[in-house]
């Protein structure tokens, strides 16, 4: 097949950095360390102001086959001008940002509704698209060990570690390092055009995760279970904090964290079965030979000190 | 295959009456002439208050396989308690009301957004469903002839007859008398479970409709074209009328009529191609042998005085 020209918007975030190609960056972040790193890997980094003049954006996207957005989940509305420009430029496939757990399109996770709004806009302007959800990251899945042995692999701002309901709720997991390879397959695949696609590596309950980490580490974990009522009250708390200060990233983070936990940890939305019900194509059926990192191997590497975490403040 | 038990809610409307089986009716409309007619055809008519106690509704739906809603498009929100009860009762498939033209899920037709909200609620509670769009009715498609020869087949409250844009926009048409037969096939078909389905008979532009009616009638038609700008200004007018009086059925009717015309007559959303882009299954592929009334035959029958119209006030 001929070369596919891909533009990635927001390539230096956690998701974007696992995909390779041409990067559109906010002018003010052009000189970020991560963009310099992209350049050393041969990626063309171009300045792009998503809220600037449309014709400039159209010009940047001319000749691009696939646009992959990996912008911050708090700025998803910026995808509207990006999609409009992509439509005019004749882009052949648009991929929205925030690959994540499967949730209902509306009514459970606020920012998921924003994604659906943007998808509905894409559909209104008839821009070819692929909508991708890609599992809950291994890198956000490890429990903290009493010895601190896994701390190097945990996010810097690690939220309180709690287990939804009885710990028996299954959830689809992925290694973030596999996401880019899944996306590369998906955007080159005619079967996924104008479809929703669900990719993931393995399905685990929280109890199974804890059991596995205990078995492989030889340490005993404390298990703190949280009820649906308790999660709902934290969601309400975060929502009222956000009403007081709509710009509070902390309140937005708390709201999103607990709404996502409600979805994957209590309701059990993040499963291949629910994705199928919602009409997603299944990555296991599309790419049965895809080689991915097994969760057990990720845990072993983390215990050996060889896992890289996400959302870590660079020292 | 074993007998499928179907309950229809709102069976006496224009869509509902083309499907046969068990009917749930509002207690206050139990004694409507149309319900009496349903009874003479062997249909069980049961009173059901959609906003009444949930356990009563659940009781009514116990043992029902398929619920088909055909309630008034202005009361779609009543489908929320109906869907909740259907979920508890173990209904195996739920079909929303307002089979209609294919439009974008959001941003073009207000009441289509309400349908999408209800679908999103259905998906949140994981109720098995099929979402059906079924074309623009032949019965709303005929132009008025100068001689008055087609008047008997036109709706009583015939809106102004205008042609969107240049009259070259294709739109999928259906004979309303075929809709029930399509729906009967769809709800018995495992391929359509948890899917969107688009059924239609034939695709015509407005110019082709006018040409055909001129040719078959021998009369000359006036063609009044309307621009997108003019339609948008009428939509805004209806919207502000509705803001002044949110209960005005006339304003709601005007808003809906012009928004639908914008979608199928200008944007060209009501086509098999756009339905495919939106992920609908195509009725022509599902049921290639389906015998339907051709539009030409419907026009001939109408010219012979043998067509029954819709939305006609009974004299």
The pLDDT tens digits of the residues spanning A118-141 come to: 999 999 999 999 999 999 999 999
Q: For residue A259, give the H/E element and its range.
A: helix A249-261
**CB within 8 A of A211, min separation 6: which ones?**
none
Q: Which portions of chain B are predicted below pLDDT 70?
A: 1-4, 10-21, 158-159, 312-315
What radius of gyration do chain B's Cα atoms show?
20
B120 touches chain A (CB under 8 A): yes
A123 touches chain B (CB under 8 A): yes
Output B306-312 pairs: Cβ under 8 A, ≥24 positions apart: B307/B139, B307/B152, B307/B153, B308/B139, B308/B153, B309/B139, B309/B152, B309/B153, B309/B154, B309/B155, B309/B156, B310/B14, B310/B137, B310/B139, B310/B140, B310/B155, B310/B176, B311/B14, B311/B155, B311/B156, B311/B157, B312/B155, B312/B156
Residue A19, pLDDT score: 53
Instruction: Output the CA–CA distances (angstroms, integers) from residue B78 to B51, B128, B209, in the order listed.
Output: 7, 18, 37
Look-up: residue for tokens 């139990």?
B30
Smallest Cα distance from B17 to chain A, Å = 30
Which band of pLDDT confidence, cut at 50, 70 and 90, is reported for residue A314?
very low
Nearest CA in chain B to A124: B104
B146 in Cβ contact with B213 (< 8 Å): no
Residue A1, pLDDT score: 39
Work out the average pLDDT over A97-116. Answer: 95
B225 touches chain A (CB under 8 A): no
Residue A72, pLDDT score: 81
Smallest Cα distance from B99 to chain A, Å = 19
Q: Which residue has the higher pLDDT, A58 or A12?
A: A58
Kindly report, residue by residue over A255-285, the tens digit of the pLDDT.
Answer: 999 999 999 999 999 999 999 999 999 999 9
Percent of chain A's residues with pLDDT above 70: 92
Number of inter-chain CB pairs under 8 A, A vs B: 47
For B166, the 3-state DSSP assignment is coil
- Which of A151-165, A229-243, A287-301, B200-214 bottoms out in mean pLDDT, i.e. has the lowest? A151-165
Nearest CA in chain B to A277: B194
Residue A30, pLDDT score: 80
Residue A209, pLDDT score: 98
A190 touches chain B (CB under 8 A): no
Measured between beta carbons, the chain B residues lying within 8 angstroms of A107 are 120-121, 124
- Which of A33-37, A95-99, B16-20, B245-249 bottoms out in mean pLDDT, i.e. has the lowest? B16-20
Whether A6 shows a pLDDT value over 80: the answer reads no
Pick the residue of B84, B103, B120, B259 with the most A CBs within 10 A to test the interface with A by mutation: B120
Whether A294 shows a pLDDT value over 60: the answer reads yes
Smallest Cα distance from A73 to chain B, Å = 21
B121 touches chain A (CB under 8 A): yes
Whether A13 shows a pLDDT value over 50: the answer reads yes
List the structure tokens of B153.
């087949």
Whether A170 shows a pLDDT value over 70: the answer reads yes
Q: What is the ipTM of this complex?
A: 0.89
Q: Which residue has the higher pLDDT, B131 or A181?
A: B131
Residue B19, pLDDT score: 53
Q: Which residue has the higher pLDDT, B15 or A65?
A: A65
Kindly report, residue by residue over A221-233, the tens digit of the pLDDT.
Answer: 999 999 999 999 9
Nearest CA in chain B to A196: B279
A173 in Cβ contact with A200 (< 8 Å): yes
Nearest CA in chain B to A281: B279
- Whether A106 sits inside 8 A of B117 (CB atoms) is yes
Residue A180, pLDDT score: 87
Instruction: Output the CA–CA distances (angstroms, integers) from residue A215 to A151, A210, A297, A303, B121, in the order listed.
Output: 18, 8, 13, 12, 41
- DSSP H stretches of helix in A41-131: 54-61, 79-89, 110-124
Smallest Cα distance from A297 to chain B, Å = 34
**B5, B92, B114, B115: the active-site residue:** B115
- Whether B105 sits inside 8 A of A126 (CB atoms) is no
Nearest CA in chain A to B196: A279
The pair phi, psi for residue A306, each rounded to 5°, is -105, 15
- Whether A126 sits inside 8 A of B277 (CB atoms) is yes
B280 touches chain A (CB under 8 A): no
Residue A218, pLDDT score: 97
Smallest Cα distance from A301 to chain B, Å = 37
Work out the average pLDDT over A34-48. Answer: 82
């Amino acid at each position: 097949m001929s070369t596919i020209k891909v533009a990635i918007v927001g390539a230096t975030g956690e998701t974007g950095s696992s995909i390779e190609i041409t990067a559109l960056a906010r002018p003010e972040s052009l000189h970020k360390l991560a963009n310099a790193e992209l350049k050393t890997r041969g990626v063309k980094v171009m300045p792009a102001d998503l809220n600037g003049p449309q014709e400039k954006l159209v010009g940047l996207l001319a000749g691009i086959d696939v646009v992959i957005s990996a912008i911050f989940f708090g700025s998803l509305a910026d995808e509207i001008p990006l999609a409009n420009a992509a439509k005019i430029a004749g882009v052949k496939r648009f991929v929205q940002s925030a690959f994540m757990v499967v949730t209902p399109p509306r009514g459970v996770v606020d920012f998921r509704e924003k994604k659906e709004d943007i998808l509905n806009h894409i559909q209104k302007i008839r821009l070819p698209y692929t909508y991708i959800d890609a599992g809950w990251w291994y890198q956000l899945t490890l429990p903290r060990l009493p010895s601190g042995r896994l701390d190097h692999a945990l996010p810097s701002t690690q939220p309180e570690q709690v287990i939804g309901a009885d710990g028996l709720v299954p959830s689809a997991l992925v290694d973030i390092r596999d996401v880019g390879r899944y996306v590369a397959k998906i955007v080159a695949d005619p079967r996924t055009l104008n479809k929703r696609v669900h990719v993931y590596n393995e399905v685990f309950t929280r109890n199974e995760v804890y059991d596995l980490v205990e078995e492989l580490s030889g340490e005993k974990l404390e298990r703190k279970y949280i009820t649906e009522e308790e999660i709902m009250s934290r969601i309400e708390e975060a929502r009222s904090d956000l009403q007081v200060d709509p710009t509070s990233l902390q309140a937005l983070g708390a709201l999103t964290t607990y709404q996502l936990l409600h979805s994957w940890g209590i309701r059990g939305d993040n499963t291949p079965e629910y994705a199928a019900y919602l009409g997603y194509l299944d990555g296991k059926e599309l790419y049965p030979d895809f080689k991915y990192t097994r969760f057990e191997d990720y845990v072993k590497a983390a215990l050996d000190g060889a896992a890289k975490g996400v959302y870590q403040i660079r020292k």
